């Protein structure tokens, strides 16, 4: 156990498969962590009791490695767009609708489409507002909470509070920092609209029973959290306008901090407010799935070792599995461009790397053309970040510093919010 007497904050992340927690010092050093799988508590990932049990287990594991008396604040993130109806004391009243669940009620979707501004994030059948409209007629409903809201409520005993990032897809206006006037025209019960605070805002202290349960002091703060995506960005250490984070997973995602909000519905682009800055980003249909379609993971490693990243193939690929792109080009019938196919697998793989790097570069250029700052640095997450040849191809294409990431754990990003909240409250 660390015997240092300096303060500690804790970040918690709840995802689709489990929960993670990170204990962090004031200087940002990760002191301890804990994990728990949802499947260890329930076979149903929609079971809120399993969410809470996984969070409790992950938090308990991290706390067991530190001096609990040093913990000053906690914060939690959850999957964006997952909503749960509860009664006045936070008891779930129905199975939650998860972030990717579709609302099929055409009347609800039409009411939203007819009243919400085109740049709002509420459009679409998976929006938080659509789910709120589904749940608001349940008997006894007092609040319809985002996943992180409900878990934070379990910590404080206070429900009905959300953060600006989770509330975005439910219709909250992050520019005006209030629920907009148009939202009532959708038929939503305005008494169910949550109190919304900026991410990183101290929202109360632990309830007495929770403080006892985890062996924490009663005045430990619970700080407004965020979405899992925002937390993952914050975890990298990016904190200045123009700082970009590229996720090289199944798909290619680019995100960048901006000093102004960026909204472009034609690209599925909207902005989360984080402090005095804005986090904007877009997701391409290109990415690792294209690579996996043509090569096994082992084959990619072998071929990558033979790539000369200092030269170019001269091939102009736009790698897609099927026709259609959303960002940085909005064209539902955009064809894949992966010909000619060279005889050499090394050259073919290199050309795919070059093509995805070109899409990444165009993505950051698109953010700039929509009003964002000039890209100043890039941090990379996801499996592709480990590929040295691909990284060098990308570095040459983007021509900005590639910086190391602080952490790949979303919980580390949420811990940074806990740190902000603790400093704002003067407890550090």
Per-residue pLDDT, 322: 96
243-248/252-258 β-pairing: antiparallel
Residue 120 binned pLDDT confidence (cut-offs 50, 70, 90): very high
Per-residue confidence (pLDDT) for residue 80, from 0 to 100:
87
The predicted structure's pLDDT at residue 166? 97
From CA 230, how far away is CA 233, in angstroms rounded?
5
187-245: per-residue pLDDT in tens? Answer: 999 999 999 999 999 999 999 999 999 999 999 999 999 999 999 999 999 999 999 99
The contacts found for 395-400 with CB under 8 angstroms, 24 or more apart, are 396/309, 396/310, 397/354, 397/357, 397/358, 397/360, 397/361, 398/357, 398/360, 398/361, 398/364, 400/244, 400/375, 400/376
The confidence score (pLDDT) of residue 2 equals 47
Average pLDDT for residues 274-302, to the nearest whole number?
96
The predicted model gives 125-152 an average pLDDT of: 98
The domains of the chain, with CATH numbers, are: 8-230+410-425 (3.30.420.40), 241-398 (3.30.420.40)
Is pTM beyond 0.85? Reply is yes
Instruction: Supply the Cα-derived Rg of the chain in whole angstroms.
Output: 22
Cis preceding linkage at 235, omega within 30: no
| Percent of the residues in the chain that have a pLDDT greater than 70, as a whole number | 99
Mean pLDDT, residues 57-76 taken together: 98
> For residue range 322-370, what is the model confidence (pLDDT) as tens digits?
999 999 999 999 999 999 999 999 999 999 999 999 999 999 999 999 9
Residue 14: its H or E element: strand 8-14
Q: What is the pLDDT of residues 3-34, one digit of tens each?
A: 568 999 999 999 989 999 999 999 999 999 99
Nearest partner of 405 among 374, 376, 381, 375, judged by Cα: 381
State how far the Cα of 58 lies from the Cα of 291, in Å rounded to an integer.
34
SS3 (DSSP) at 353: helix
Q: What is the pLDDT of residue 3?
A: 54
**DSSP of 301-351, one letter per residue?**
HHHHTT--TTS------B--SSS-B-SSS-BTTPPPB--S--S-HHHHHHH
**Are the C-beta atoms of residues 375 and 368 closer than 8 Å to each other?**
yes
pLDDT of residue 5: 82
User: Within 10 Å of residue 46's Cβ, how many Cβ atoms?
Assistant: 15
Phi, psi for 187 (deg, rounded to 5):
90, 5
CA dihedral sign of residues 247, 250, 251, 252: positive
What confidence tens digit (pLDDT) does each residue in 359-401 have? 999 999 999 999 999 999 999 999 999 999 999 999 999 999 9
The closest of 34, 16, 17, 5 to 415, measured between CA atoms, is 34
């Amino acid at each position: 156990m660390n015997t240092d007497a300096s303060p500690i904050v804790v970040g918690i992340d709840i995802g689709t498969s489990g929960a993670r927690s990170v204990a962090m010092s004031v200087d940002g050093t990760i002191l301890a962590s804990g994990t728990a799988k949802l499947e260890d508590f329930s076979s149903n990932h929609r079971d809120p009791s399993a969410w809470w049990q996984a969070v409790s287990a992950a938090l308990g594991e991290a706390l067991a490695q530190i001096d609990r008396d040093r913990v000053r604040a906690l914060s939690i993130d959850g999957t964006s767009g997952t909503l749960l109806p509860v009664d006045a004391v936070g008891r779930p009243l129905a199975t939650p609708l998860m972030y990717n669940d579709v609302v099929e009620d055409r009347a609800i979707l039409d009411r939203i489409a007819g009243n919400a501004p085109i740049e709002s994030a509420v459009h679409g059948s998976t929006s938080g507002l659509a789910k709120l409209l589904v749940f608001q007629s349940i008997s006894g409903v007092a609040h319809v909470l985002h996943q992180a809201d409900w878990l934070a409520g379990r910590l404080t005993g206070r429900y009905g509070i959300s953060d600006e990032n989770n509330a975005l897809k439910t219709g909250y206006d992050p520019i005006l920092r209030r629920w907009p006037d148009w939202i009532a025209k959708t038929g939503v019960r305005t008494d169910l609209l949550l109190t919304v605070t900026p991410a990183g805002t101290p929202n109360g202290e632990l309830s007495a029973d929770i403080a006892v349960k985890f062996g924490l002091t009663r005045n430990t703060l619970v700080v407004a959290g965020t979405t899992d995506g925002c937390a993952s960005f914050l975890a990298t250490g990016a904190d200045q306008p123009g700082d970009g984070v590229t996720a090289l997973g199944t798909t290619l995602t680019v995100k960048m901090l901006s000093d102004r909000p960026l909204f472009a519905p034609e690209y599925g682009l909207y902005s989360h407010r984080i402090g005095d800055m804005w986090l904007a980003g877009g997701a391409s249909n290109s990415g690792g799935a294209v690579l996996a379609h043509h090569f096994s993971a082992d084959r990619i490693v072998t071929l990558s070792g033979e790539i000369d990243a200092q030269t170019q193939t001269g091939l102009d690929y736009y790698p897609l599995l099927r026709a259609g792109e959303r960002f940085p080009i909005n064209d539902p019938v955009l064809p894949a461009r992966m010909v000619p196919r060279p005889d050499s697998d090394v050259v073919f793989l290199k050309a795919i790397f070059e093509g995805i790097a070109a899409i990444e570069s165009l993505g950051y250029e698109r953010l700039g053309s929509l009003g964002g700052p000039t890209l100043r640095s890039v941090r990379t997450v996801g499996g592709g970040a480990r590929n040295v040849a691909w990284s060098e191809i990308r570095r040459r294409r983007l021509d900005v510093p590639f910086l190391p990431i602080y952490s790949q754990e979303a919980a580390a990003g949420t811990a940074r919010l806990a740190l902000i909240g603790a400093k704002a409250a003067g407890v550090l």
